[in-house]
Amino acid sequence: MRLIALLLLSFCAVFAAGAQDYPSRPVKIVVPYAPGGVTDIASRIIGVKLSEIWKQQVVIENRPGGGGVVGTQVVAKATPDGYTLLAATVSEFAITQHFYTKFPLDPIKDFTPIVLVSDTPLMFAAHVSAPFNTVAEMLAYAKKQPDGLAFASPGNGTLNHLTGERFAMETKVKMLHIPYKGGAPAGAALASGEVPVGVVAASSALPHIKSGRVKAIAVTMSKRIPLNLQWPTVAESGVPGFEASNWVALVAPTGTPRDIVVKVNADANHVLRLPDVRERFAGVGAEAVGSTPEELAAKIRSDSERYGKIAKQLKIKLD
């Protein structure tokens, strides 16, 4: 018994030392979308600062595909030692599973929440050549399209996809979903005129709006956003109560030591309070947030319940 007790004490001492020394090598944040989108931008902003604090490199690895599922699966199967984290979004953690009869992940069981990083409004944007400038004009145009109004999104089952389908349901118009492998590819397709409309994060649309190739139609927030107060909301444009925003969070595989989760949470919250970090997020139309692991877990559960009800109403299956 004394030998067992000594072994247990030794193990605890090694574990505590390991958590205290974390990180002792580079940390990888997997982004389940292509570079340039809202998830990628948020990860790089916080990754740079965490690297400075930890004196270790934070590597951003983009693993797009399956509406965020491919990269998410990679992290679910990773060793739970704190050295592989996931940049999670509302799409993979609260929406996508409701579009499938069989889904390869359980976001609640397979992951440990760490911290809510940012929140970014979505927007309806159009190619500059589109013959409409307002929500009302877009609806009138959509009703004249036999196959429906095509709209781009970062992928099947994403919040953007759900938002476009919900918009079509509530306004009683037909829309045709065109999925891409992330917000940046969707924004690029919109800017090139490949699709007339995009349901994209403000950060994905902004560069193309500035270049004059894309125009803003409306944002999906309850009030106008500081990024551009001239952009109307969908709600004030004739669709009352319409609101959607895309959050990004850091999570780890289930089984990651609690001490490491607490350390990453504390350091990430410190970073998210820095004025220059908040300014960088605001510059792309996002808000730096921060949270406890428990607050993030509660948000994942409540959002999953809310969006699950909407997905059920839409009766969309992607099997």
Domains detected in the chain: 25-120+245-314 (3.40.190.150), 124-237 (3.40.190.10)
Q: What is the pLDDT of residues 139-152, one digit of tens each?
A: 999 999 999 999 99
Q: What is the H or E stretch that residue 113 is in?
A: strand 111-127
- What is the signed CA dihedral for 298, 28, 289, 19, rounded to 10 degrees? 70
Give, in order, the Cα–Cα distances in Å from 137 to each of 232, 293, 304.
Answer: 14, 43, 33
* Helix residue spans in the chain (DSSP H): 2-21, 38-54, 69-76, 90, 107-110, 135-142, 159-171, 183-192, 202-211, 258-272, 275-283, 293-314
The helix-helix angle for 183-192 and 202-211 (nearest 10°) equals 30
Residue 233 C-beta-side C-alpha neighbours within 13 Å? 17
What is the amino acid identity at position 57?
Q
User: How many angstroms separate the CA atoms of 281 and 208, rounded?
Assistant: 18
Backbone angles phi, psi at 44, to 5 degrees: -70, -35
pLDDT tens, the chain, 319 aa long: 565 555 555 545 444 445 679 999 999 999 999 998 889 999 999 999 999 999 999 999 999 988 889 999 999 999 999 999 999 999 999 998 998 888 889 999 999 999 999 998 899 999 999 999 999 999 999 999 999 999 999 998 899 999 999 999 999 999 999 999 888 899 999 999 999 999 998 878 889 999 999 999 999 988 898 889 999 999 999 999 999 889 999 999 999 999 999 999 999 999 999 999 999 999 888 899 999 999 999 999 999 998 898 888 888 887 7
